[in-house]
Amino acid sequence: MAERICVAQIGGAHGLRGEVKLKSFTADPMAVSGYGPLTTEDGSATFEIEAVRPARGHLVARFRGVDNRDAAERLINVRLFVPRERLPPLAIDEFYHTDLIGLSAVAADGAAIGTVVAIHDFGAGDILEVQPQAGGTTIMVPFTAACVPSIDIASGRIVVVPPEGAMKDRGGATD
C-alpha cells in the first residue's frame, strides 16, 4: 500500500494574488485543508494552505509563500500528497484509489481479465480502467457494486463484471 496518498491537484492560477484552483480528491473536498502540509509527488516541495474556499467545481486555495500570479502559474498540475497516517480511517467498503491500481481484475469464475491501471471520475461516478491481460485497448468499468462485486486488497484482486459488450474482441474471459 502507498505510504503517501494524493489528496489534491493544482489546476491553475486564480486571480493576481497567488491563489490557485485546487481539485480535491477527498470525500469532503474542504477536508484537504485539515491534513497539514502537503508535498509534491517527489517530496521536493511542501505547501501549507493558508486559506481555502469552495468555488464552482473546484476549490480556491492560497498557499503560504505563494503571493503572486507568476508563482501560482508555476504550480499548474502539481499533485499534492499527505502521509497515509494523517488521513481518517476507512470504512469497510471504502478504498483509496491508489490501493486499487495494480490489482488483478478477474471474472466471477476466477478467469483473468487484466489489471486495474487507473480510476477516473468524469462526473457521473468512478470508473475503473482495466488493461486486458491479452493487451490492446483498455476497458472502462463503472465502479459500482454490480460491476465490481468483490474487492480483496490483501489478495491483490478485484472481481469485475464488465458491462455487456465491453470484452468483445478483446480476448477477455467474460462478455
172 lies in some domain: no
pTM of the model: 0.74
143 lies in some domain: yes
Q: Give the separation between CA 168 and CA 153, rounded to whole angstroms.
A: 28
Which grid cell sits at 51?
486559506
Does one domain contain both 108 and 74? no
Domain region containing 21: 4-86
168 lies in some domain: no
Q: In 3D, which of 36, 21, 49 has the Cα closest to residue 83?
A: 36
Q: Is the pLDDT of residue 172 over 60?
A: no
175 lies in some domain: no
Does one domain contain both 22 and 66? yes
165 lies in some domain: no
Does one domain contain both 79 and 138? no
Average confidence (pLDDT) over 15-26: 94
CATH of the domain at 23: 2.40.30.60
Does one domain contain both 19 and 51? yes
Q: Is the pLDDT of residue 175 over 50?
A: no
Does one domain contain both 57 and 20? yes
pLDDT band for position 174 (cuts 50, 70, 90): very low
Q: Give the separation between CA 116 and CA 141, rounded to whole angstroms.
A: 10
pLDDT band for position 1 (cuts 50, 70, 90): low
Q: Give the separation between CA 58 and CA 53, rounded to whole angstroms.
A: 9
Predicted confidence at residue 96, as pLDDT, reads: 86
- Give the number of domains in the chain: 2
Does one domain contain both 82 and 124? no
Predicted confidence at residue 117, as pLDDT, reads: 96
112 lies in some domain: yes
Predicted confidence at residue 168, as pLDDT, reads: 59
174 lies in some domain: no
108 lies in some domain: yes
| pLDDT tens digits, one per residue of 30-55 | 999 999 999 999 999 999 999 999 99
Q: Is the pLDDT of residue 92 over 90?
A: no
Q: What angle do CA 93, 122, 92 make, to 5 degrees?
A: 5
